[in-house]
Amino acid sequence: MTQPEESTPTHFRNVAAFVDEYLRYIYQRQVTDTTDAVWCPEWWKHTEAVVRLDSLWRAWEHYRLRETTGLSIWFTDHADPHMTKLLDPSGPFKYCNARHGHRQLLAPLPLTSPPREVFDWMAPLTPPLPESSKEKEPVDRVYASVVEFVENYLSVTYQRQVTDTTETVWCPEWWRHPEAIIRLDSLWRAWEFFRQKAPVGLSEWFLTLADPQMKQLLDPRGPFRYCSARHGHKELLTPLPSAVSPGMFTDPDDARDYRV
């Protein structure tokens, strides 16, 4: 991986040095005889941990240069949220143990590749924006589509126990769920944008966008309710019922009469 800012020498030569020489001394926690905090000594075997800690290191190298507020911002806006995720017993270190070491029991989220025409229905839900309001999209995308992004990055990064549990769910055919498509498509586009915002971009993407979105998708009461990583997709959810009369709001300005 490249250095956070080539023009400014970094204090730590890489993320491994940052974790080994700094982070583990700052975040001293009881992780040996407890069930409320976990840690894997071989954190570098977990894709999510590597990406999170690397972004955390880059953010630290950036904020340390702000003498007055830098490290305080780094703690509250980056380190604490990331470390909360990493130390969570249901997070990426699930099944690992500080006493007994790494256990490779988590795997990438199971996926079934969609047919090409699966996204055709999205057009009416995503009308084109006026040229004047469009953000400039990255021209050098890493992933050509949301499918590539989910299959090659997101599913590998967010490895969770989704087979024998009732607290986390996932549908291998996520592309059959309109909400999942739009959420994950927005995550892909945001990732392509934030990854170019060195040195804090990926950290911000994780904390402000990916974590909240994935929390909704993995929620047993969310869009994948009734689906199962073991048994696949089940078409049991339907659009929310609507009792709006046709023509009730023929003009958008008519809605102002119903404001509270």
Report the predicted TM-score, pTM, of the whole model to 2 decimal places: 0.84
Do the beta carbons of residue 153 and residue 111 sit within 8 Å? no
| Integer Cα distance of 169 and 160 in angstroms | 9
Q: Which residue has the higher pLDDT, 33 or 259?
A: 33
CA 76-78-79 angle, to 5 degrees, is: 80
* Three-class secondary structure of residue 232 per DSSP: strand
Mean pLDDT of the chain: 88
Share of residues in the chain with pLDDT > 70 (%): 85
pLDDT band at 125 (very low <50, low <70, confident <90, very high): low
Using alpha carbons only, how large is the chain's radius of gyration in Å? 21
